Amino acid sequence: MNTAPRSQHDAFAFQDWAWLVAVALIWGSSYLLIAFGVEHFQPPLVAFLRLAFGVAVLATIPAARRPVPRGEWRAIALLGIVWLALPFLLFSVAQTSIDSSLAGMLNAAAPLFVAVVAALVYHRRPGPRQILGLLVGFAGVVVISWPAVVGAHANVVGVALVLLATLCYGFAGNMASPLQVRNGALPVVFRAALVALVASAPLGLASIPKSTFAWSSLVAVAALGVFGTALAFVGFTTLLGRVGATRGSVTIYFLPLVAMVLGATVRNESVALVSIAGTALVLVGAYMASRAERPRLVASDVSPPRRAA
């Protein structure tokens, strides 16, 4: 059964927060996994294998194989290129020249790209409170990531590639929401991933001779496919269908936070005090963007005063 569209005036339900947290935890670890993947595999091979593992998992789910109307295939195919094939390749190439912390910070601009594309292309403006929440959350992301970015090795080409991938997410977020509402998350993501896999195959297979095998890279890429591609994209598409593209995209704000915690607990990286302060801003911004927006009062809603007889 498809999820009914949600109004921007509705607050997040418990299930919405559950999807948001689950997706943030999975995607927040993806930068570390990509870094392990490109240590031995060429970037096109990382993108291709990630999609291959993701498609293999989705193919085992009967609901993902449900038919969709033929008229939806063109939009789903475009979504597969914009949301999966192109960004996966761009991130893999970029992380051969920039730090994962910088990639995470730049990708955190995705909710702003989603909001701008929604307003300029789809003529859907978020409410004032939600706009403020987006800006506060992005400020928190900058504060969290600043200590790592200051010491990062920044490459202009790598930065440009991540920004291009983030712009792709701005369009994809707005495309995925109505497709999920009409067809369900699983059928949309499965078919989009199939298109992306086919599109990624030529470069991916051609890069095998230039890659070296290592279990660490293979396990990392497999985790990217099973969790970061199959499960996380289904969860995120479901969230977009429930709360809309602009509000659902605040999930991205939590990714640097997850990366910071993983770095401190798994790799014993130090956490700056200013990053903890930024965490508070992220939580406040996400909460503001998720809250119910007061409907605007328009002139037609106000009845003119009745004149005395």
- Which tens digit of pLDDT belongs to each residue from 96-133? 887 777 777 777 777 777 777 877 777 777 677 777 87
**pLDDT value at residue 301:** 47
87-119 CB burial, b ≥16 within 10 A, e <16: bbbbbbbbbbebbbbbbbbbbbbbbbbbbebbe
**pLDDT value at residue 121:** 77
**pLDDT value at residue 190:** 93
**pLDDT value at residue 3:** 46
- DSSP 8-state code for residue 226: I
**C-alpha torsion sign, points 296, 242, 107, 22:** positive
**pLDDT value at residue 205:** 96
Ranges of H-type helices in 61-155: 73-79, 86-94, 100-107, 110-120, 128-150
Decide: 292 and 130 in contact? Cβ < 8 Å.
no
281 Cα distance to chain centroid: 19
pLDDT, tens digit (0-9, with 9 covering 90-100), for 251-263 = 877 877 787 777 6
- DSSP 8-state code for residue 85: I
C-alpha 20/C-alpha 38 separation (Å) is 28
**Residue ranges of the domains in the chain?**
14-292
Please name which of 4, 37, 29 lies closest in space to residue 258, comparing C-alpha atoms: 29
C-alpha 105/C-alpha 117 separation (Å) is 20
- pLDDT profile of the chain (309 residues), mean per 10: 49 83 87 88 95 94 90 93 94 85 75 77 73 80 71 70 88 85 87 95 95 93 91 82 76 78 71 73 72 53 48
**pLDDT value at residue 2:** 46
- The amino acid sitting at 289 is A
Q: Is residue 131 helix, strand or coil? A: helix
